[in-house]
Amino acid sequence: MSQKLKRGGPSARAVAARADTGRKIRKARAQTNTTFDRLLAALPFSEAQLHRLFLAMILGAAVALAWLVASLAGVPALAREQLAVVSKQSGFEVRRVEVRGVQHLNELKIYERVLAERDRAMPLVDLAALRAELLQLSWVEDARVSRQLPDTLVIDVVERKPHAVLKTADRMALIDDEGHVLEPITPARAKGRLVIGGWDAAHHVGELTALLDAAPALKPQVAEADWIGNRRWNLTFRTGQVLALPEGEKSSAGALVAFARLDGTNRLLGGRVVAFDMRAPDRIYMRVPGRSDAPATPLPAAAASVATAAAPAKTEAQ
pLDDT digits (tens, 9 = 90+) for 262-277: 999 989 999 999 999 9
Superfamily covering domain 96-159: membrane protein fhac (3.10.20.310)
Q: Summarize the confidence of residues 177-206 as an average pLDDT.
A: 94
Q: Give the DSSP H or E segment for 142.
A: strand 140-148
Q: Provide the 10 A C-beta neighbour count for residue 246.
A: 26
Q: Provide the 10 A C-beta neighbour count for residue 200.
A: 9
pLDDT(246) > 90: yes
Confidence band, pLDDT 50/70/90 cuts, at residue 314: very low
Residues 86, 62: Cα–Cα separation, whole Å: 9
pLDDT(307) > 70: no
Indicate the Cα dihedral angle 237, 242, 247, 251, nearest 10°. -60
Q: What is the pLDDT of residues 53-64, one digit of tens each?
A: 667 677 667 666
pLDDT(78) > 80: no
Q: How much is the mean pLDDT over the chain?
A: 79
Q: According to the model, what pLDDT value does residue 241 have? A: 97
Q: Summarize the confidence of residues 2-10 as an average pLDDT.
A: 51
Q: Determine phi and psi for 33, rounding to 5 degrees.
A: -65, -40
Q: According to the model, what pLDDT value does residue 61 have? A: 72
Q: According to the model, what pLDDT value does residue 317 have? A: 33
Q: What is the pLDDT of residues 117-151, one digit of tens each?
A: 777 778 788 899 999 999 999 999 999 999 888 88
pLDDT(47) > 70: no
Q: Which residue has the higher pLDDT, 289 or 104?
A: 104
Distance from CA of residue 180 to its chain's centroid?
14
Q: According to the model, what pLDDT value does residue 94 have? A: 81
pLDDT(36) > 60: no
Share of the chain above pLDDT 70, in %: 64
| pTM of this prediction exceeds 0.85 | no
Q: Enter the CATH code of domain 164-307.
A: 3.40.50.11690
Cβ-count burial of 33 within 10 angstroms (0-12 exposed, 13-18 middle, 19+ buried)? exposed
